[in-house]
Structure 1
Amino acid sequence: MKLTSFFTTIGIVLLSACSSDDDTSSSSSVNYKEEMRNFVINISKAAKASRSGFLIVPQNGIELVTQNGEEDGPLHTAYLDAVDAHGQEDFLYGYNQDDEATPSDATTYLKAFLDRSSSSGNRILITDYCSTDSKKSASYTTNNSYGYISYAAEHRELDIIPVSEPYQAHNGDVATLADAKNFLYLLNSKNYSSKSDFLQALKATRYDVLIIDMFFTDGTALTADEVAQLKTKSGGGSRKVIAYMSIGEAEDYRYYWQSDWNKNKPSWMDAENPNWPGNYKVKYWNTDWQNIIYKNSDSYLNKIVNAGFDGVYLDIIDAFEYYE
């Protein structure tokens, strides 16, 4: 998803940070940043209770690393302790337009937060959207100089595997994210005629980390055996395989979608995202939505854990900006 402009006014709600399951409650009673932090923290607790070492990687919404959402604010240690890395889109390229340099003030703003997370022991994964060879090269080398690992995505749809070798490709094992030098972010499998072809294409790569959807384009889920096959790089060496999961929007192509929602939206569902048809904003603090994501035995998170993924990549963390 495209990063919401950092110029968005960041409202700081100074009222109770306690969870509110009542959708009819006054908006002034909801601390939207803290509700998202709590959501991520509870997802982390549930996942790590099921499997020690399971990776939690929120994407965007990096302001949550400080208690007040300010660059120089005190760190929110409970949130930082709950996650293992932070994903960030459009850091150097793609903020206003794909294949265009991100304004320097936006990069400086984001870097201040990213560095604080990095200094707390979390890995930083950057996705820049650029297709020109010189810009892709600059993305990799600059991010590397900051101590980040990165992926230069040619398409915002994240639907192709680059022809070139991964940046700093190697055959060593990736036991932890600290060992990773590169990653592939591939969510849309529409260019593959079958799940088998999709899996073969992934297995043929040397990326240290794969961030993929656990569902093929036809809606069938990857099995634990299929995920296990992806955990060895072409040429040797183990790697991490992480599943994407949106927690700030509901998607009408997911297994959990109910047909009557097309006409009668549940109380926790809000407006459709105009940039991504079929994606709907959600009141992410609502119990019914959280039940879908992690609070029951058949939750989205449990499906990912049971399929043998090494972690989860949480998207639309910046949903708090929509409500603020």
Structure 2
Amino acid sequence: MKKYILLLFFCVYYFSFSIENEIYKDRMRNFVKEIRNNTSKDRIIISQNGNELYFKNNGIDEEFFKITDGTTQESLYYGDVLKFNIATSEEMKNELLKLILPIRKKGKPVFVINYGKGEKKRDFLKKEALKTNLINELLPSFSLNDLYKPINGYNVNDIHNLNEVKNYLCLLNPEKFYSIDEYYQALKNTNYDLLLIEVSYDNVFFTKEQIEELKIKKNGGKRIVIAYLSVGEAEDYRLYWKKEWNKNKPDWIVKENENWEGNYIVKYWNPKWKEIIKQYQKKLDEIGVDGYLLDTLDSYSYFEK
């Protein structure tokens, strides 16, 4: 009898735990949906660090799938567990592929961000891309602060949507540049099809005119400009951060990210945080970016644990 009682307890506990975990995923899905509804229909949304959100009840979540236009995957082949230039374990790679291959097969572009150096790695990534139809790049550091040579080289083609993209730049930390003007000129003089970038420097944003100019590659072809936007963590270097939060943080700020100083996990379903993101989103729309790279979507996993 005791055995059956324990089994019943375990089943109830597991079922409750699974429901609780799904609640946090649903809250993030709903948040992304709100972000979509807060902007124009033609604005591009790319998800980052949250590919589990595309799945529900052992299959693709059709409703969420329609909300975004593309997704990314960090460290699929190189850079797992913050180990630069080290191959990701087969186990982890296969787990990630189980998520992103169905997403790609269903038609959504997947941009793979690897961390490492070397021509052999670049050749390997180029061959893998032919097998998987994923867009691989090899970034020279975890800092995401520099330009790099794309795996597939450049082209003069006009880029109208994400499915036409052959290469991309992911530059989210412009610290190595002396000013926003130098940063802007560096970006302007490139031929990447897609820019996944930080669009401000010391809280000074690119102008609408500069964003429009960045939409043209140096070789004259059109390209897409996507702005970085962290929605699962607050950053203490953003305009919205208040000085008093350094000592007394609001109750919707939970804790600092152990791996990234100055980044704080938030209760992303909190109305005050949502309003902050809405206003930041409004600023991005005003300067005319083509869309957003929504980062830290995987913050739900902190609350699940």
Alignment match of 1:221 (pick from 205, 210, 214)? 205
Alignment match of 2:27 (pick from 35, 48, 52)? 35
Alignment match of 1:260 (pick from 227, 240, 244)? 244
Structure 1 equivalent of residue 152 of structure 2: 167
Q: Aligned letter for 2:74?
A: E
Structure 2 equivalent of residue 269 of structure 1: 253
TM-aligned CA deviation for residue 107 of structure 1: 1.2
Evaluate the alpha carbon distance shift between residue 11 and residue 231 of structure 1 in structure 2; reply closer, same or farther with a 3 A threshold: farther
Alpha-carbon deviations, 1:178-205, whole Å to 9, x = none?
1100100001111111211111111111
Task: Confirm or deny that 1:65 pairs with 2:61.
Answer: no
Q: What is the rounded CA distance, in whole Å, between the counterparts of 1:140 and 1:160 in structure 2? A: 21
Q: How many residues align?
A: 290
TM-aligned CA deviation for residue 141 of structure 1: 3.2
Evaluate the alpha carbon distance shift between residue 165 and residue 249 of structure 1 in structure 2; reply closer, same or farther with a 3 A threshold: closer
Task: Confirm or deny that 1:112 pairs with 2:92.
Answer: no
Displacement over 4 Å in runs of 4+? 10-15
TM-aligned CA deviation for residue 74 of structure 1: 2.0
Task: Confirm or deny that 1:151 pairs with 2:131.
Answer: no
Please, what is the CA RMSD of the aligned residues? 1.8
> Which 5+ residue runs of structure 1 have no aligned equivalent?
1-9, 16-27
Task: Confirm or deny that 1:309 pairs with 2:298.
Answer: no
Q: TM-score, with normalisation over the residues of structure 2?
A: 0.90
Structure 2 equivalent of residue 196 of structure 1: 181
- Given that 2:232 and 2:295 are in contact with CA atoms closer than 8 Å, whether structure 1 keeps it comes out as yes
Structure 1 equivalent of residue 8 of structure 2: none
TM-aligned CA deviation for residue 13 of structure 1: 4.8
- Given that 2:51 and 2:71 are in contact with CA atoms closer than 8 Å, whether structure 1 keeps it comes out as yes
Evaluate the alpha carbon distance shift between residue 264 and residue 177 of structure 1 in structure 2; reply closer, same or farther with a 3 A threshold: same
Q: Aligned letter for 1:92?
A: Y
Q: What is the rounded CA distance, in whole Å, between the counterparts of 1:241 and 1:12 in structure 2? A: 43
TM-aligned CA deviation for residue 165 of structure 1: 5.5
| Structure with more of its chain in helix, by fraction | 2
TM-aligned CA deviation for residue 119 of structure 1: 2.5
Instruction: Report the 3-state secondary structure (helix = DSSP H, G, I; strand = E; otherwise coil) of the residue aligned with 2:297.
Output: coil
Alignment match of 2:89 (pick from 93, 103, 106)? 103
Which protein shows a greater Rg? 2
Q: What is the rounded CA distance, in whole Å, between the counterparts of 2:16 and 2:153 in structure 1? A: 41
- Given that 1:268 and 1:282 are in contact with CA atoms closer than 8 Å, whether structure 2 keeps it comes out as yes
TM-aligned CA deviation for residue 256 of structure 1: 0.2
- Given that 1:13 and 1:31 are in contact with CA atoms closer than 8 Å, whether structure 2 keeps it comes out as no
Q: What is the rounded CA distance, in whole Å, between the counterparts of 1:291 and 1:11 in structure 2? A: 33
Structure 2 equivalent of residue 141 of structure 1: 127
> Which 5+ residue runs of structure 2 have no aligned equivalent?
1-13
Alpha-carbon deviations, 1:104-158, whole Å to 9, x = none?
1211111121122122321101100112332133223313431111221111100
- Given that 2:28 and 2:300 are in contact with CA atoms closer than 8 Å, whether structure 1 keeps it comes out as yes
Q: TM-score, with normalisation over the residues of structure 1?
A: 0.85
- Given that 2:138 and 2:150 are in contact with CA atoms closer than 8 Å, whether structure 1 keeps it comes out as no
- Given that 2:150 and 2:167 are in contact with CA atoms closer than 8 Å, whether structure 1 keeps it comes out as no
- Given that 1:130 and 1:136 are in contact with CA atoms closer than 8 Å, whether structure 2 keeps it comes out as no
Structure 2 equivalent of residue 322 of structure 1: 302
Instruction: Report the 3-state secondary structure (helix = DSSP H, G, I; strand = E; otherwise coil) of the residue aligned with 2:111.
Output: strand
Structure 1 equivalent of residue 168 of structure 2: 183
